[in-house]
């Protein structure tokens, strides 16, 4: 019997650090998959294997890299020359694309990939598979507008977007933040842009929420605060301040800390030791974060794109403590969302135990305007992407 033809989607996520890229890619893949759709993910994430991949979704692991400076990357695990590691990554990516022959190539965030590693693949697709579509997926905010404009000019990104990409999907709302205006995107490129809205995550049932609260000893009208810093590589200050707040003035709340798998071990041990004294539960990685976020009365985070999509999906009140270096992305997003009462935030320079306690008390006791805003907020990203895929397949058929 002849094998049924499939529509092949190749996804690229450079994943130098953190959890956001691989979580976003997984959410998109799970939504776009189907009986006649194969999805293959190219990822450098060292923890990709911890996730459960649904049927007809698989991944190819490329050597992980970690950022040392804005332009310097080092191998994450193997001890070889960085250029050699990048050559290995580039060769794996190109060979996979040629063997898989994707109908659709979705690139996460980096138009040229890490150190231009997907440029040969983009050029090969244009030359040898002209009917294949190439999509660049961008989160709502990249960085300070002036920084992005300068970077894109220096790296020739505007030309790449014009010549090598069929469409650009922006995973956000133009009304909250407009990259077309902020990044001075010309008409020849902006005509390719589709604002998808934010990307939703799994939403546990009410019974699952109640069960999760019981498992973590939250009863009746008790309050639960979840503190998460994503991958955790730069999250120590947030959790240190939260514990210092409780050490200074104990609050009648239950707390859960999820440090993230990339927090340095010495910092994690320090937090775990102090948390035990306060009878606070701690995890370095929690596989089903949506359950914790749905069970919480308040989530404290650094406001990464992925984390906020997960929190907003659960309709939970949120306090953001955004990093401001090396990128201002989190701060810009927090300010935009705070203007719509979707989150509250504390600037990094104003993070103290006393200020944090003030915000926590306020949000736990009087969250009405935030609850109303998050309850009415719709995350449409996956629906829009599925419609685009249906249009592509219709044209193919």
Domain boundaries, the chain: 7-199+379-396, 206-375
Give tens-digit pLDDT for 194-228.
Answer: 999 999 999 999 999 999 999 998 887 899 999 99
Give tens-digit pLDDT for 178-199.
Answer: 999 999 999 999 999 999 999 9
- Candidate ranges 19-28, 69-78, 344-353; pick with highest mean pLDDT: 344-353
pLDDT number for residue 237: 97
* Integer Cα distance of 280 and 239 in angstroms: 12
* Integer Cα distance of 191 and 71 in angstroms: 30
368 band by pLDDT with thresholds 50, 70 and 90: confident
Whether residue 3 is predicted with pLDDT greater than 70 in this model: the reply is no
pLDDT number for residue 231: 86
Higher pLDDT among residues 21 and 258, named by residue:
258
Q: Do 7-199+379-396 and 206-375 fold alike per CATH?
A: yes
Higher pLDDT among residues 81 and 227, named by residue:
227
Residue 156 makes CB contacts below 8 A (sequence gap 6+) with none
Residue with tokens 């893949």: 29
* Integer Cα distance of 347 and 150 in angstroms: 25
pLDDT number for residue 397: 34
Class of domain 7-199+379-396: alpha beta
396 band by pLDDT with thresholds 50, 70 and 90: very low
pLDDT number for residue 242: 98
Q: 206-375 belongs to which homologous superfamily?
A: Glycogen Phosphorylase B; (3.40.50.2000)
Share of the chain above pLDDT 90, in %: 78
Query: In this structure, what are the phi and psi dihedrals at residue 261, rounded to the nearest 5 degrees?
Result: -75, -15
What number is the average pLDDT over the span 385-392? 96
Indicate if the alpha-carbon torsion angle 91, 96, 102, 108 is positive or negative: negative
Please give the model's pTM, rounded to 2 decimal places.
Answer: 0.91
pLDDT number for residue 154: 96
Beta bridge mates, 377: none
For helices 329-338 and 305-313, give the axis angle rounded to 10 degrees: 30
Whether residue 235 is predicted with pLDDT greater than 50 in this model: the reply is yes
């Amino acid at each position: 019997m002849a094998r049924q033809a499939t529509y092949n989607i190749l996804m690229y996520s450079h994943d130098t650090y953190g959890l956001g890229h691989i979580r976003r890619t997984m959410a998109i893949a799970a939504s776009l998959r189907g009986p006649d759709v194969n999805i293959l993910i190219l990822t450098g994430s060292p923890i990709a294997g911890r996730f459960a991949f649904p049927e007809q979704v698989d991944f190819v692991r490329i050597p992980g890299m970690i950022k040392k400076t804005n332009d310097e990357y080092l191998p994450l695990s193997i001890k070889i020359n960085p250029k050699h590691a990048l050559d290995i990554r580039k060769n794996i990516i190109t060979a996979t694309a040629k063997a898989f022959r994707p109908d659709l190539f979705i690139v996460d965030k980096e138009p040229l990939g890490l150190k231009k590693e997907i440029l040969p693949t983009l050029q090969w697709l244009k030359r040898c598979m002209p009917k294949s579509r190439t999509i660049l997926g961008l989160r709502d905010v990249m960085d300070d507008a002036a920084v992005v404009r300068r970077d894109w000019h220096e790296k020739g990104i505007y030309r790449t977007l014009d010549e090598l990409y069929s469409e650009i999907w922006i995973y956000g709302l133009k009304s909250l933040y407009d990259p077309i205006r902020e990044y001075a995107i010309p008409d020849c490129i902006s005509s390719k842009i589709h604002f998808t809205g934010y990307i939703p995550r799994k939403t546990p049932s009410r019974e699952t929420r109640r069960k999760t609260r019981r498992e973590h000893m939250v009863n009746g009208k008790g309050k639960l605060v979840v503190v998460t810093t994503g991958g955790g590589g730069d999250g120590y200050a947030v959790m240190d301040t939260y514990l210092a707040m409780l050490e200074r003035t104990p609050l009648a709340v239950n707390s859960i800390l999820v440090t993230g798998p990339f927090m340095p071990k010495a910092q994690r041990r320090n937090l775990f030791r102090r948390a035990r004294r306060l009878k606070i539960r701690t995890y370095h990685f929690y596989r089903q974060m949506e359950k914790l976020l749905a069970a919480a009365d308040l989530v404290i985070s650094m406001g990464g794109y992925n984390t906020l999509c997960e929190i907003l999906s659960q309709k939970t009140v949120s306090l953001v403590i955004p990093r401001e270096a090396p990128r201002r992305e989190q701060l810009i997003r927090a300010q935009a969302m705070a203007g719509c009462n979707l989150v509250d935030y504390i600037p990094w320079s104003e993070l103290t135990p006393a200020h944090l306690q003030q915000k926590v008390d306020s949000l736990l006791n009087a969250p009405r305007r935030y609850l109303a805003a998050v309850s009415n907020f719709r995350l449409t990203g996956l629906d829009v992407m599925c419609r685009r895929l249906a249009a592509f397949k219709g044209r193919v058929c």
